[in-house]
Amino acid sequence: MKTAAALTLLALAVTPAVHAVEPAPAKAVNDGARDVNAAARAANAQARERNGPAQRAAEARAAGLAAAAGAAGTAAAAKAAPASAPAAVAPPVAASKPSYCKGTIYLTFDTGSQSQAELIADTLNRHKIKATFFLANEKTVRGDYSLDPSWSAYWKARVAEGHAIGSHTFDHVVYAKDGADGKIVVKPGFGDSAGKQISLTSKQYCEQIQRVDQRFVELTGKHLDPIWRAPAGRTSPRLLEMGKACGYAHAGWSPAGFSGDELSSSAYPNDVLLKKLLRELKGGDIVLIHMGIWSRKDAWAPANLEPLISGLEQKDMCFATLREHPDYKK
Protein backbone atom coordinates (compact mmCIF):
# COMPACT_ATOMS: atom_id res chain seq x y z
CA MET A 1 0.00 0.00 0.00
CA LYS A 2 1.46 3.24 -1.07
CA THR A 3 1.57 5.75 1.73
CA ALA A 4 3.16 9.09 1.24
CA ALA A 5 3.09 12.40 3.04
CA ALA A 6 4.11 15.81 1.76
CA LEU A 7 7.80 16.72 2.15
CA THR A 8 8.34 19.99 4.02
CA LEU A 9 11.58 21.80 3.23
CA LEU A 10 12.66 24.42 5.74
CA ALA A 11 15.23 26.92 4.45
CA LEU A 12 16.81 29.70 6.45
CA ALA A 13 17.99 32.79 4.62
CA VAL A 14 18.81 36.34 5.59
CA THR A 15 18.15 39.04 2.98
CA PRO A 16 19.04 42.55 4.12
CA ALA A 17 16.46 45.18 3.18
CA VAL A 18 17.62 47.91 0.76
CA HIS A 19 16.13 51.37 1.02
CA ALA A 20 16.66 54.46 -1.13
CA VAL A 21 18.24 57.11 1.10
CA GLU A 22 19.87 60.46 0.67
CA PRO A 23 23.69 60.50 0.47
CA ALA A 24 25.27 60.16 3.90
CA PRO A 25 28.58 61.39 5.21
CA ALA A 26 31.50 59.03 4.73
CA LYS A 27 31.67 58.26 8.44
CA ALA A 28 28.01 57.18 8.54
CA VAL A 29 28.54 54.95 5.50
CA ASN A 30 31.59 53.33 7.12
CA ASP A 31 29.69 52.84 10.37
CA GLY A 32 26.85 51.20 8.43
CA ALA A 33 29.26 48.91 6.64
CA ARG A 34 30.81 47.89 9.95
CA ASP A 35 27.34 47.10 11.32
CA VAL A 36 26.51 44.91 8.33
CA ASN A 37 29.84 43.08 8.65
CA ALA A 38 29.26 42.53 12.36
CA ALA A 39 25.82 41.10 11.66
CA ALA A 40 27.28 38.79 9.02
CA ARG A 41 29.96 37.61 11.44
CA ALA A 42 27.29 36.88 14.06
CA ALA A 43 25.19 34.92 11.56
CA ASN A 44 28.22 32.92 10.52
CA ALA A 45 29.05 32.16 14.14
CA GLN A 46 25.51 30.91 14.71
CA ALA A 47 25.72 28.74 11.59
CA ARG A 48 29.02 27.28 12.77
CA GLU A 49 27.48 26.49 16.13
CA ARG A 50 24.49 24.75 14.54
CA ASN A 51 26.81 22.80 12.27
CA GLY A 52 29.16 21.74 15.08
CA PRO A 53 30.37 18.14 14.85
CA ALA A 54 27.97 15.67 16.49
CA GLN A 55 29.34 12.72 18.36
CA ARG A 56 28.41 9.50 16.61
CA ALA A 57 29.28 5.87 17.02
CA ALA A 58 32.39 5.66 14.86
CA GLU A 59 31.65 2.54 12.91
CA ALA A 60 27.98 3.34 12.35
CA ARG A 61 28.77 6.88 11.23
CA ALA A 62 31.46 5.68 8.85
CA ALA A 63 29.16 3.15 7.26
CA GLY A 64 26.16 5.48 7.16
CA LEU A 65 28.05 8.46 5.80
CA ALA A 66 29.76 6.35 3.17
CA ALA A 67 26.45 4.96 1.97
CA ALA A 68 24.83 8.38 2.10
CA ALA A 69 27.72 9.87 0.16
CA GLY A 70 27.39 7.19 -2.49
CA ALA A 71 23.66 7.84 -2.83
CA ALA A 72 24.13 11.62 -2.82
CA GLY A 73 26.95 11.41 -5.35
CA THR A 74 24.67 9.79 -7.92
CA ALA A 75 22.11 12.55 -7.54
CA ALA A 76 24.78 15.26 -7.58
CA ALA A 77 26.18 14.02 -10.86
CA ALA A 78 22.76 14.38 -12.44
CA LYS A 79 22.04 17.82 -11.07
CA ALA A 80 24.53 20.02 -9.22
CA ALA A 81 23.15 22.19 -6.43
CA PRO A 82 23.26 25.98 -6.99
CA ALA A 83 26.31 27.66 -5.51
CA SER A 84 24.05 29.98 -3.52
CA ALA A 85 22.09 27.15 -1.84
CA PRO A 86 22.12 27.42 1.98
CA ALA A 87 24.29 24.91 3.81
CA ALA A 88 22.46 21.97 5.43
CA VAL A 89 22.45 21.93 9.22
CA ALA A 90 23.52 18.54 10.60
CA PRO A 91 21.39 17.28 13.54
CA PRO A 92 23.00 15.64 16.56
CA VAL A 93 23.13 11.84 16.35
CA ALA A 94 21.19 11.37 19.56
CA ALA A 95 18.25 13.57 18.58
CA SER A 96 15.38 12.20 16.50
CA LYS A 97 14.00 15.73 16.01
CA PRO A 98 16.82 18.20 15.34
CA SER A 99 16.06 21.90 15.15
CA TYR A 100 16.59 21.77 11.40
CA CYS A 101 14.63 19.01 9.70
CA LYS A 102 14.11 18.35 6.00
CA GLY A 103 11.47 15.67 6.54
CA THR A 104 10.23 12.87 8.79
CA ILE A 105 10.87 9.15 8.31
CA TYR A 106 8.61 6.61 10.00
CA LEU A 107 10.48 3.43 10.93
CA THR A 108 8.19 0.42 11.46
CA PHE A 109 9.06 -3.08 12.63
CA ASP A 110 7.01 -6.25 12.10
CA THR A 111 7.49 -9.25 14.37
CA GLY A 112 9.30 -12.22 12.88
CA SER A 113 11.85 -14.69 14.19
CA GLN A 114 12.78 -11.98 16.76
CA SER A 115 16.47 -12.71 16.21
CA GLN A 116 17.09 -8.95 15.91
CA ALA A 117 14.72 -7.79 18.68
CA GLU A 118 17.41 -6.70 21.15
CA LEU A 119 19.60 -5.09 18.50
CA ILE A 120 16.64 -3.06 17.23
CA ALA A 121 15.72 -1.87 20.73
CA ASP A 122 19.33 -0.94 21.55
CA THR A 123 19.83 0.95 18.29
CA LEU A 124 16.62 2.96 18.65
CA ASN A 125 17.50 3.84 22.25
CA ARG A 126 21.01 4.90 21.33
CA HIS A 127 19.65 7.31 18.72
CA LYS A 128 16.66 8.35 20.86
CA ILE A 129 14.28 7.35 18.07
CA LYS A 130 10.65 6.35 18.56
CA ALA A 131 9.26 3.86 16.04
CA THR A 132 6.17 1.73 15.42
CA PHE A 133 5.91 -2.03 15.99
CA PHE A 134 3.31 -4.40 14.49
CA LEU A 135 2.80 -7.58 16.49
CA ALA A 136 1.70 -11.11 15.60
CA ASN A 137 2.16 -14.24 17.71
CA GLU A 138 5.10 -15.66 15.75
CA LYS A 139 7.55 -18.46 16.50
CA THR A 140 10.89 -17.05 17.65
CA VAL A 141 14.51 -18.18 17.78
CA ARG A 142 14.07 -18.70 21.52
CA GLY A 143 11.63 -21.54 20.83
CA ASP A 144 8.67 -19.56 22.20
CA TYR A 145 6.22 -17.13 20.55
CA SER A 146 6.48 -13.35 20.35
CA LEU A 147 3.34 -12.79 22.44
CA ASP A 148 4.15 -15.39 25.09
CA PRO A 149 4.57 -14.21 28.71
CA SER A 150 8.33 -14.57 28.22
CA TRP A 151 8.18 -11.46 26.00
CA SER A 152 6.30 -9.35 28.54
CA ALA A 153 9.39 -7.46 29.77
CA TYR A 154 10.47 -6.67 26.21
CA TRP A 155 7.12 -5.20 25.21
CA LYS A 156 6.72 -3.33 28.49
CA ALA A 157 10.06 -1.65 27.83
CA ARG A 158 8.98 -0.56 24.34
CA VAL A 159 5.78 0.93 25.78
CA ALA A 160 7.78 2.82 28.43
CA GLU A 161 10.06 4.22 25.71
CA GLY A 162 7.09 5.72 23.88
CA HIS A 163 6.94 3.54 20.77
CA ALA A 164 3.62 2.99 18.98
CA ILE A 165 2.33 -0.60 18.86
CA GLY A 166 -0.16 -1.99 16.34
CA SER A 167 -1.70 -5.33 15.39
CA HIS A 168 -0.31 -7.66 12.72
CA THR A 169 -3.14 -10.21 13.30
CA PHE A 170 -2.65 -12.85 15.98
CA ASP A 171 -1.91 -15.81 13.71
CA HIS A 172 -0.22 -13.73 10.98
CA VAL A 173 -3.08 -14.42 8.57
CA VAL A 174 -2.07 -13.56 5.00
CA TYR A 175 -4.88 -12.42 2.70
CA ALA A 176 -5.34 -14.63 -0.39
CA LYS A 177 -8.57 -13.43 -2.04
CA ASP A 178 -12.11 -12.27 -1.47
CA GLY A 179 -14.43 -15.19 -0.83
CA ALA A 180 -18.14 -15.89 -1.16
CA ASP A 181 -20.82 -14.27 0.99
CA GLY A 182 -18.70 -11.28 1.95
CA LYS A 183 -15.93 -13.43 3.44
CA ILE A 184 -12.20 -13.35 2.75
CA VAL A 185 -9.83 -16.25 2.19
CA VAL A 186 -6.62 -16.16 4.23
CA LYS A 187 -3.66 -18.39 5.05
CA PRO A 188 -2.54 -18.26 8.70
CA GLY A 189 1.16 -18.61 9.40
CA PHE A 190 0.59 -19.91 12.93
CA GLY A 191 -2.16 -21.40 15.09
CA ASP A 192 -4.44 -24.36 14.54
CA SER A 193 -4.94 -23.61 10.82
CA ALA A 194 -1.31 -22.76 10.00
CA GLY A 195 -0.50 -23.30 6.33
CA LYS A 196 -4.13 -23.89 5.31
CA GLN A 197 -6.48 -21.59 3.44
CA ILE A 198 -9.55 -20.73 5.47
CA SER A 199 -12.50 -18.35 5.04
CA LEU A 200 -13.18 -15.65 7.62
CA THR A 201 -16.15 -13.37 8.15
CA SER A 202 -15.64 -9.73 9.01
CA LYS A 203 -16.23 -10.57 12.68
CA GLN A 204 -13.68 -13.39 12.60
CA TYR A 205 -11.04 -11.22 10.97
CA CYS A 206 -11.70 -8.52 13.56
CA GLU A 207 -11.09 -11.14 16.24
CA GLN A 208 -7.66 -11.82 14.68
CA ILE A 209 -6.81 -8.11 14.98
CA GLN A 210 -8.23 -7.74 18.48
CA ARG A 211 -6.61 -10.88 19.92
CA VAL A 212 -3.26 -9.09 19.67
CA ASP A 213 -4.67 -6.20 21.70
CA GLN A 214 -6.12 -8.57 24.31
CA ARG A 215 -2.81 -10.39 24.70
CA PHE A 216 -0.87 -7.12 24.76
CA VAL A 217 -3.01 -5.88 27.66
CA GLU A 218 -2.23 -9.12 29.51
CA LEU A 219 1.50 -8.64 28.90
CA THR A 220 1.84 -4.88 29.47
CA GLY A 221 -1.36 -3.49 30.93
CA LYS A 222 -1.66 -1.21 27.88
CA HIS A 223 -3.84 -1.28 24.77
CA LEU A 224 -2.53 -1.14 21.20
CA ASP A 225 -2.69 1.94 19.05
CA PRO A 226 -5.72 1.67 16.69
CA ILE A 227 -3.61 0.67 13.68
CA TRP A 228 -2.97 -2.66 11.99
CA ARG A 229 -0.86 -3.99 9.15
CA ALA A 230 -1.97 -6.86 6.95
CA PRO A 231 0.71 -9.59 6.85
CA ALA A 232 2.74 -9.45 3.62
CA GLY A 233 0.95 -6.16 2.92
CA ARG A 234 -1.73 -8.00 0.96
CA THR A 235 -5.12 -6.33 1.07
CA SER A 236 -8.32 -5.74 -0.85
CA PRO A 237 -10.99 -3.05 -0.45
CA ARG A 238 -13.11 -5.64 1.39
CA LEU A 239 -10.30 -6.48 3.79
CA LEU A 240 -9.58 -2.81 4.49
CA GLU A 241 -13.26 -2.25 5.26
CA MET A 242 -13.16 -5.14 7.71
CA GLY A 243 -10.28 -3.52 9.54
CA LYS A 244 -12.01 -0.14 9.55
CA ALA A 245 -15.23 -1.68 10.89
CA CYS A 246 -13.12 -3.21 13.66
CA GLY A 247 -11.84 0.24 14.64
CA TYR A 248 -8.36 -0.03 13.17
CA ALA A 249 -6.71 2.02 10.39
CA HIS A 250 -4.47 0.06 8.03
CA ALA A 251 -0.83 1.14 7.81
CA GLY A 252 1.22 -0.18 4.92
CA TRP A 253 4.60 1.16 3.83
CA SER A 254 5.98 3.40 1.10
CA PRO A 255 7.42 1.88 -2.10
CA ALA A 256 10.78 3.45 -1.26
CA GLY A 257 10.47 2.14 2.31
CA PHE A 258 10.63 -1.56 1.47
CA SER A 259 13.86 -2.62 3.19
CA GLY A 260 14.15 -5.91 1.30
CA ASP A 261 15.16 -7.71 4.49
CA GLU A 262 12.93 -10.68 3.61
CA LEU A 263 14.61 -11.23 0.23
CA SER A 264 17.49 -13.58 -0.54
CA SER A 265 20.75 -12.14 0.78
CA SER A 266 22.68 -13.65 -2.12
CA ALA A 267 20.47 -11.95 -4.71
CA TYR A 268 19.99 -8.76 -2.66
CA PRO A 269 23.13 -8.08 -0.55
CA ASN A 270 22.84 -5.77 2.44
CA ASP A 271 25.00 -3.02 0.94
CA VAL A 272 22.81 -2.86 -2.17
CA LEU A 273 19.64 -2.63 -0.08
CA LEU A 274 21.15 0.08 2.16
CA LYS A 275 22.23 2.26 -0.77
CA LYS A 276 18.79 1.94 -2.34
CA LEU A 277 17.07 3.10 0.84
CA LEU A 278 19.39 6.06 1.31
CA ARG A 279 19.01 7.04 -2.33
CA GLU A 280 15.22 6.81 -2.52
CA LEU A 281 13.78 7.60 0.91
CA LYS A 282 12.23 11.04 1.33
CA GLY A 283 10.33 12.86 4.03
CA GLY A 284 6.98 11.27 4.85
CA ASP A 285 8.02 7.73 3.87
CA ILE A 286 7.14 4.71 6.00
CA VAL A 287 9.89 2.08 6.21
CA LEU A 288 9.19 -1.66 6.64
CA ILE A 289 11.74 -3.69 8.63
CA HIS A 290 11.31 -7.12 10.23
CA MET A 291 12.51 -8.18 13.66
CA GLY A 292 14.16 -11.21 12.12
CA ILE A 293 13.63 -13.31 8.99
CA TRP A 294 14.17 -17.06 9.16
CA SER A 295 15.07 -17.48 5.50
CA ARG A 296 17.64 -14.67 5.09
CA LYS A 297 21.16 -16.00 5.70
CA ASP A 298 22.89 -12.61 6.02
CA ALA A 299 20.63 -10.74 8.47
CA TRP A 300 19.69 -7.21 7.40
CA ALA A 301 19.54 -5.36 10.72
CA PRO A 302 23.07 -5.95 12.09
CA ALA A 303 24.61 -4.60 8.88
CA ASN A 304 22.10 -1.93 7.90
CA LEU A 305 19.95 -0.50 10.68
CA GLU A 306 22.46 1.82 12.32
CA PRO A 307 24.08 2.92 9.03
CA LEU A 308 20.60 3.63 7.66
CA ILE A 309 19.73 5.84 10.63
CA SER A 310 23.10 7.62 10.55
CA GLY A 311 22.84 8.21 6.81
CA LEU A 312 19.32 9.64 7.14
CA GLU A 313 20.40 11.87 10.02
CA GLN A 314 23.23 13.16 7.85
CA LYS A 315 20.51 14.15 5.36
CA ASP A 316 18.73 16.06 8.16
CA MET A 317 15.84 13.63 8.47
CA CYS A 318 13.81 13.29 11.66
CA PHE A 319 12.03 10.18 12.95
CA ALA A 320 8.60 9.66 14.51
CA THR A 321 5.95 7.05 15.26
CA LEU A 322 2.86 6.65 13.09
CA ARG A 323 0.92 8.49 15.79
CA GLU A 324 2.42 11.63 14.28
CA HIS A 325 1.82 10.64 10.65
CA PRO A 326 -0.86 12.82 9.00
CA ASP A 327 -2.89 9.75 8.02
CA TYR A 328 -3.04 8.33 11.55
CA LYS A 329 -3.17 11.32 13.86
CA LYS A 330 -6.19 11.27 16.14
**Mean pLDDT score, 82-106:** 55
Distance CA 176, CA 186 (A): 5
Mean pLDDT of 294-323: 97
* Global pTM value: 0.72
Give yes or no for residue 105 having a pLDDT over 60.
yes
What confidence tens digit (pLDDT) does each residue in 137-165 have? 999 999 999 999 999 999 999 999 999 99
Give the model's pLDDT for residue 275: 98
pLDDT band at 100 (very low <50, low <70, confident <90, very high): confident
Residues 195/176, Cβ–Cβ less than 8 Å? no
The H or E element spanning position 152 is: helix 152-161
pLDDT at 264 over 90: yes
CB 252 within 8 A of CB 2: yes
> Does CATH place domain 1-330 in 3.20.20.370?
yes
- 2-41 as b/e: b if 16+ CB within 10 A: ebebeeeeeeeeeeeeeeeeeeeeeeeeeeeeeeeeeeee
| Domain ranges within the chain, ordered by starting residue | 1-330
Question: What is the separation, in whole angstroms, between the first and last Cα of the chain?
Answer: 21
How many other CB atoms sit within 10 Å of the CB of residue 44?
A: 10
For residues 259 and 36, the model is more confident at 259
Q: Is the pLDDT of residue 315 over 50?
A: yes
Q: Which helix (H) or strand (E) holds 271?
A: helix 270-280
For residue range 166-188, list pLDDT tens digits in order.
999 999 999 999 999 999 999 99
